[in-house]
A and B are shown apart, each in its own frame.
Chain A
């Protein structure tokens, strides 16, 4: 799997990291209180994933077998990328609001999970950067959609035991079911 469109469709729809791999649930339950914070978190994650995959691609040129790279390396790349954008966003005029979600980006299982999934999904070369960008897009899509649904859920009469995380997870489950339609079994 290394054509651009294939990677885009796989990471955004057919194997969406949040809905169909079940990653990044901490962000999904905490950063979707309103559309704005969901959007900010998505932008931060998109930027961090871009530089992190760029670094992995560069490293792949020196270490020929991607499978030799392991957790400590991926964590180092994730940390370098998160701190780089932390620095960049702090200098930008509107950056201070995005900046807030960046330390969280390092501990988000989307970031480390996407890097760990690279060998399993069989992407290599420049496809790695493509996968990072697509994963960021898929994450942003789910977060913004969920934030929109959550704003409407706030106006709906939800039974008391279901309020908060339970109704959110059930909504995510139903959304994930619709995304399952993009898979060919």
Chain B
């Protein structure tokens, strides 16, 4: 596959949340507000790309058996770094996202994507595509949940208070229900995906 095809596959055919059912924890945890979801999605993409590039440079100096440990270490370093920088510039966002920023390290789709490709462009295209696909899915789930749960859309009030908000949608149980219904809708339109059983079948 070409670079463009790899990039587009990450957004549509291999969308982490809607097609592969990976990364469901942030998809439910932070999407009560749509912008929080977008923010975490972008942050995850940046951490993933930075780790991919560094891993590609370092793999000539690290024995092949230790690559997985190196991947985890790099992800941890970049996540901790991102958190430190965010505390300086967007302290409100760090409080809003809470434990979900550190949890980027154990995000199933990030671990799934941290594979070692001999060509850097392919790795980056795959990582960027899946990152954008992930951000897009968090945005879609976030818009639905925010509208139902608080009657707002990206922070702007839509329902003027004559109708009480469906506050369950903003809570975690409502997140399960809405994500389940959205996944079923995607399956009905595009057909059921084949299941990815284990993260990185090479034994992660």
Q: B25, A26: Cβ atoms under 8 Å?
A: yes
In the complex, the answer to whether B173 meets A173 with C-beta atoms within 8 Å is yes
Contact A75 B105 (CB under 8 A): yes
B99 touches A (CB below 8 Å): yes
Chain B positions within 8 Å of A74 at CB level: 102
Would you call the interface of chain B mostly helix, strand, loop, or mixed?
helix
Alpha-carbon distance between A107 and B22 when the two chains are bound, in angstroms? 12
Q: Are B99 and A169 in contact (CB under 8 A)?
A: no
B33 sits at the interface (CB 8 A): no
Is A21 in contact with chain B by the CB < 8 A criterion? yes
Main SS of the interface on chain A? helix
A71 touches B105 (CB 8 A): yes
CB of A184, distance to nearest CB on chain B (Å): 15
User: CB within 8 Å of B: which of A108-151?
Assistant: 108-109, 111-113, 116-117, 120
Query: Chain B: which residue is nearest A178 at the CB level?
Result: B173
Contact B199 A107 (CB under 8 A): yes
Do A112 and B102 touch (CB < 8 A)? yes
Q: Mark B70-105, 1 if CB is under 8 A from A, else 0.
A: 001000110110010000000000000011001101
Q: Is the CB of B172 within 8 A of A161?
A: no
For B173, the chain A residues whose CB sits under 8 A away are: 19-20, 173-174, 176-177, 179-180
* Extra contacts besides A29-B21, A30-B197, A74-B102 (15): CB < 8 Å: A22-B25, A106-B106, A107-B204, A117-B99, A160-B187, A161-B185, A162-B187, A163-B187, A165-B180, A169-B24, A170-B180, A173-B173, A173-B175, A174-B177, A176-B173
Pairs of residues from A and B, 9 with the lowest C-beta to C-beta distance, nearest first: A173-B176, A169-B180, A176-B173, A161-B188, A173-B177, A170-B180, A166-B184, A25-B24, A161-B187
